[in-house]
Amino acid sequence: MSGIKDKVVVITGASSGIGEAIAERLSKDGAKLMLGARREDRLKSLADKLGGDAAYHVTDVTRRDDVQALAKAAIDRFGHIDVLINNAGVMPLSFLSEGKVDEWDKMIDVNIKGVLYGVDAVLDHMLERESGQVINIASTAGHRVVKSGVVYCGTKHAVRAISEGLRMETAGKIRSTIISPGAVETELGNDISNDQIKDRVKTMQKDTGLKPEDIAEAAAYSISQPDSVSVNEVLIRPTVQEG
């Protein structure tokens, strides 16, 4: 199967930013969508806007049962899953010396364990069907390490490692895709508790960041390829972004 029309796509973190833009982009091309995130009001208004082929299931990706239930909701509603997009992520940046271990835990739980729970929720299903695609949203932070972003970078390196391992273990059956954006203007970083870092990040996103729609285009490109073509990584930065 190639193209986007009629593909069943599960998207985590669909309540804002990149996840929301991907949902809108794929909906235009006729995908059937199961949207997951915690903020039900946002999910509901997006699903209402997109119409009958979009549904949602309130999901906290740090809860394994929630992620299993999200996948089940997609299968119950649409019959199967063609694509999982592990997009949910958080970025409360800080220096290691600030000792914000609770924030490190949160990033590990959402950005790494959430991705693994997603993979687990669809893997048997996709292997049985000998067909499927898992798209993990990593980051340029998965390609380098920056001061004040050590734990976040660690989580995004892990996402890339998991995606590559998934690709190798499921070759011939499942397409594994990493999308690594640079700065994008979204709500990401609103939870940074160090004011200086937050100002820097939010200013960069606002002044030079990509639009979430730019990343949605990369997702649409990777999904629309024929089954025999696996786009394994897209690295996409604002032209002015150096690192």
Query: What is the set of active-site residues?
Result: 152
Task: Give residue 53's Cα distance to chain centre.
Answer: 20
Q: Which is nearer to ligand NDP, 86 or 170 (CB)?
A: 86
Specify whether the CB–CB gap between 240 and 215 falls below 8 A.
no
Contact region for ligand NDP (CB under 6 A) — 71-79, 96-104, 117-125, 184-192?
A: 184-192
Q: Cite the beta strand spans of 40-121 per DSSP E.
A: 54-58, 83-86
In the bound state with ligand NDP, the residue whose beta carbon lies nearer, of 83 and 88, is 88
By CB under 6 A, tell whether 177 contacts ligand NDP.
Answer: no
**Closest CB 19 distance from ligand NDP, rounded Å:** 5
Distance of CA 62 to the CA centre of its chain: 14
91 touching ligand NDP, by CB under 6 A: yes
In DSSP notation, 171-204 reads: TTT-EEEEEEE--B-SSTTTT--SHHHHHHHHHH
Cβ closest to ligand NDP, residue 54 vs residue 91:
91
Work out which of 26, 34, 37, 216 binds ligand NDP, going by CB under 6 A. 37
12, 68 Cβ separation under 8 angstroms: no
Interaction of residue 139 with ligand NDP, rule CB under 6 A: yes
Q: Does 62 bind ligand NDP (CB under 6 A)?
A: yes
Token pair 């700065």 is at which residue? 183
Other C-beta atoms closer than 10 Å to the C-beta of 194 total 17
Q: Which of 146, 145, 174, 148 is nearest to 162 (CA)?
A: 174
Beta carbons of 86 and 115 less than 8 angstroms apart: yes
Closer residue to ligand NDP (CB): 62 or 94: 62
Given 8, 186, 219, 231, the residue binding ligand NDP (CB under 6 A):
186
- Contact residue for ligand NDP among 11, 15, 85, 132 (CB under 6 A): 15
Binding of ligand NDP at residue 65 (CB under 6 A)? no
In whole angstroms, how close is the CB of 14 to ligand NDP at the nearest point? 6
Contact 141, 149 (CB under 8 A): yes
Q: How far is the CB of 72 from ligand NDP (least distance, A)?
A: 16
Bridge partner list, 215: none
List interacting residues with ligand NDP (CB under 6 A): 12-13, 15-19, 37-39, 42, 59-62, 87-91, 110, 137, 139, 181, 183-184, 186-188, 205
